[in-house]
Amino acid sequence: VVYDWVDGRPVRKPIEVARKLLAEAGFPDGRDASTGQPLVLYLDTVQRGPGDKPRLDWYRRQFQKLNIQLELRTSDWNRFQEKVRAGNTQLFFLGWNADYPDPENFMFLLHGPNSGADGENKARYANPAFDRLFEQMRHMENGPARPTIFDQMETIAREDASWGWG
């Protein structure tokens, strides 16, 4: 989605591709086509210390290349968790460490029924095709069909871009 494959190597797509997609979404040059208002995105994050400032400033500069305004909404960890649980965020960072060696350990984080205040699907992602594949794969024995299903799920999740993969 972000790279083209040229001569067997990944080549990052030019920023013009992002500008074109933004225009197709109704935000040419980072502005709402109907109102002319700038596109503002909100990033909720935990205020951890002065070391965060350079990283957050870099994010702002990257969005500014598309004329998108990135507003930072910093808070302490407890308030941040409340916002995520309530679904009162637009963009945020969370991490996950696999506690068992199976791709399902990550895919369940995008399973629609796992969304909501107490679920692990903090992005509140829901895609019926992804969920059907998840249910199909969930109790399968390891075998040749299972990796194919994971590949399909990964493609759907990547194209929907509910996460920024890190």
Q: What's the confidence (pLDDT) of residue 97? A: 85
R_g of the chain computed on alpha carbons: 18
Query: With 90 as the cut, is the pLDDT of residue 4 above it?
Result: yes
Residue 34 CB-density burial (10 A; 0-12 exposed, 13-18 middle, 19+ buried): exposed
Interval 89-112: pLDDT, tens: 999 998 888 888 888 988 999 999
Structure confidence by residue, pLDDT tens digits, 120-143? 999 999 999 999 999 999 889 989
Q: What is the pLDDT of the chain when averaged over all its residues?
A: 92
Higher pLDDT, 117 or 39: 39
Q: Catalogue the E-assigned strands of 79-159.
A: 91-92
CB 63 within 8 A of CB 69: yes
Please tell me the predicted confidence (pLDDT) of residue 98.
85
Q: What local confidence, expressed as pLDDT, does residue 40 receive?
A: 97
Name the residue type at position 78: N
Give the pLDDT confidence score for residue 161 in this predicted structure. 87
Give the pTM. Answer: 0.82
Distance CA 62, CA 88 (A): 24
Q: Are 158 and 165 in contact (CB under 8 A)?
A: yes
Tens of pLDDT along 11-36? 999 999 999 999 999 999 999 999 99
- pLDDT, position 166: 66
